[in-house]
Amino acid sequence: MRFFFLSLTNLWRTTQLFYVTAPLTLFSIASGCGEFSRHRMLGVDISYWAAGDRGSISTTITKWWTLLLMIGAIAVNIIYWFDLLSFVDPISVLIVSVIGLDVVHICAFLWLGNKKETLPKPPSSSLPKWQWCIARFFQLLFSVNFYRNSLRGLVFNSNFVLLLQWVGPLQHVAFPLLIPFRPELGVNQALLLLIAGK
């Protein structure tokens, strides 16, 4: 007897998968067309892979795609909240923000990893306390690892992860309720339903 357990994490991963797989699907189609045309025109045997590491290519595509989604969400919010363009619709900002929040965890994992990086060695303890504090401040100020560790600590914080887990599934409840007032939300919901139903 088998049991199926659906958790908040399952729902969250499903919405993340929807946003992340778009460029990978296009890459698969392009690779398949390329292989087919090589077979058709050149008679190349395509029964095995010989064209490099496709897993590495897929990871790179996912890294840059999620970063693009994050930068897009940040840029759209800046444009909207600082009123830089008059034609930006609040519903579009909401949808793009939800997408950005959905992929922030994946983006951070791919770009930062999940292990803390070593910080520069603290200055000598023989220094007076105020000099030690100033020296340590400047050490950390110019340390890339410090910023990466701080960002990793924020994104992988259990409270922040819990907040992110609610964003994706909540849109499946909140957006349909808002469709009678803002019909443009229906397009996003229709796309999500089409992908979920395949």
Give domain status of residue 29, yes or no: yes
- Exposed (0-12), middle (13-18) or buried (19+): which is 183, by Cβ within 10 Å? exposed
pTM above 0.85, yes or no: no
- Give tens-digit pLDDT for 24-40: 888 888 888 887 887 77
Give domain status of residue 86, yes or no: yes
Task: Return the closest-CA partner of residue 151 out of 112, 110, 106.
Answer: 112
Q: How confident is the model at residue 156 (pLDDT cuts 50, 70, 90)?
A: very high
Give domain status of residue 55, yes or no: yes
Q: How far is CA 118 from CA 81, 143, 148, 149, in A?
A: 37, 10, 10, 9
Is 104 in contact with 21 (CB distance < 8 Å)? no
Give domain status of residue 126, yes or no: no
Report d(CA 198, CA 191) in Å as an integer: 11
In the chain, the number of structural domains is 1
Give domain status of residue 40, yes or no: yes
Report d(CA 20, CA 168) in Å as an integer: 13
Domain with 43, as residue range(s), is: 8-112
Percent of all residues in the chain with a pLDDT value above 70, rounded to a whole number: 86
Give domain status of residue 80, yes or no: yes
Q: Report the mean per-residue pLDDT for the chain.
A: 82
Question: Mean pLDDT across the stretch 56-74?
Answer: 92
- Give tens-digit pLDDT for 40-60: 777 776 666 655 567 788 889
Report d(CA 145, CA 106) in Å as an integer: 19
Give domain status of residue 165, yes or no: no
Give domain status of residue 147, yes or no: no
